[in-house]
Amino acid sequence: MKKIQVLIVDDEPLARSGLRKMLENDPTIEVVAEAANGREALDLLEQHKPDLMFLDVQMPGLSGVQILEQIPATLRPVIVFTTAFDEYAVKAFELHAVDYLLKPFNNRRFAAALERAKDSHRSRRTLQLDRQLDELTSYLHRRTRTPDPNAGLPDRIVVKADGDLHFIDYADVVWVEGQGDYLKIHAGRNSVMIRETMAHMETRLPPGRFVRVHKSAIVNVDHVRKLKPIHYGDHALETNDGSSIRVGRGFRDKLATLIKAGE
């Protein structure tokens, strides 16, 4: 009997190792590959054509949802999401009947998700699964791109750093600073350094409340206390934590957003 081939996608080595160990306990499963990022995942999907994929939702670069969008229908496996998202996203997975594992998960919850995934694979309910995944992708995009402040969105962001999950209230985030391949979230005692792109972080923060003012800076308008000219028509922002953030020339139109937010 052919084993069910599995691809693990997670940017955290410990998370991938933990999933592999759990899967190795099932004699019907064969882990064919592991991917640490979205691009690698897409390459391995084409190479191995797995039956089942454990897919982390929240990763730097391509997110799990973005990976899902790029998988051709002919290559799409049964997918179990692994996520540290807040309640609204978990509710989305439940609403669209897509299985997920909320981190941290225990052996019992993992076993239940795996059995459901194996059942979906055996029954070949591909059309139904594709429809559910497409609905989920559309739903998450609507919630992240055009958030409604009255729609019960989470009031905090969840990020991964050094293998731990950090839950940071939006209100505590003063600004986000790009430092090469990393971002520093300036949030007082909750400040943390994470590996993520500025472009992806911008999509995760509520627009209007957070404004990108430089290729390496996103600010929380609630924490801006002063806008001052410096030289040659340039400006700098001063925040409540004493930081001075230069406004990039390509982001001068954002000044109007900041001024309007303060009116």
Q: Among candidates 114, 108, 222, which has minimal Cα distance to 174?
A: 222
Torsion angle of C-alpha atoms 147, 149, 155, 156, degrees rounded to 10: 30
Q: Which CATH superfamily is domain 171-262 in?
A: LytTr DNA-binding domain (2.40.50.1020)
pLDDT for residue 152 is more than 70: no
The position carrying tokens 């190795």 is 24
Pick the CATH number of 4-145 from 3.40.50.2300, 3.40.50.720, 3.40.50.880, 3.40.50.920: 3.40.50.2300
pLDDT of residue 97: 42
Rounded Cα distance between 41 and 54, Å, is 11
Higher pLDDT, 93 or 15: 15
Reported as a pLDDT band with limits 50, 70 and 90, residue 145 is: very low
pLDDT for residue 252 is more than 90: no
Higher pLDDT, 46 or 119: 46
**What backbone phi and psi angles, to 5 degrees, belong to 96?**
-100, 15
Non-local (6+) Cβ contacts of 143 within 8 A are 88, 89, 92, 151, 153
Reported as a pLDDT band with limits 50, 70 and 90, residue 77 is: confident
pLDDT per position as a tens digit, 9-48: 998 898 999 999 999 999 999 999 999 998 899 999 999 9
**What backbone phi and psi angles, to 5 degrees, belong to 116?**
-65, -40
Average pLDDT along the chain: 80
What secondary structure letter does DSSP report for 3?
P
pLDDT of residue 139: 55
Domain coordinates in residue numbering, the chain: 4-145, 171-262
Reported as a pLDDT band with limits 50, 70 and 90, residue 73 is: confident
Least trusted range by pLDDT, from 42-51, 58-67, 127-136, 146-155: 146-155
**What backbone phi and psi angles, to 5 degrees, belong to 63?**
-80, 170
Torsion angle of C-alpha atoms 162, 85, 215, 35, degrees rounded to 10: 60
Is the distance from CB of 11 to CB of 37 less than 8 angstroms?
yes
pLDDT of residue 123: 72
pTM of the model: 0.55
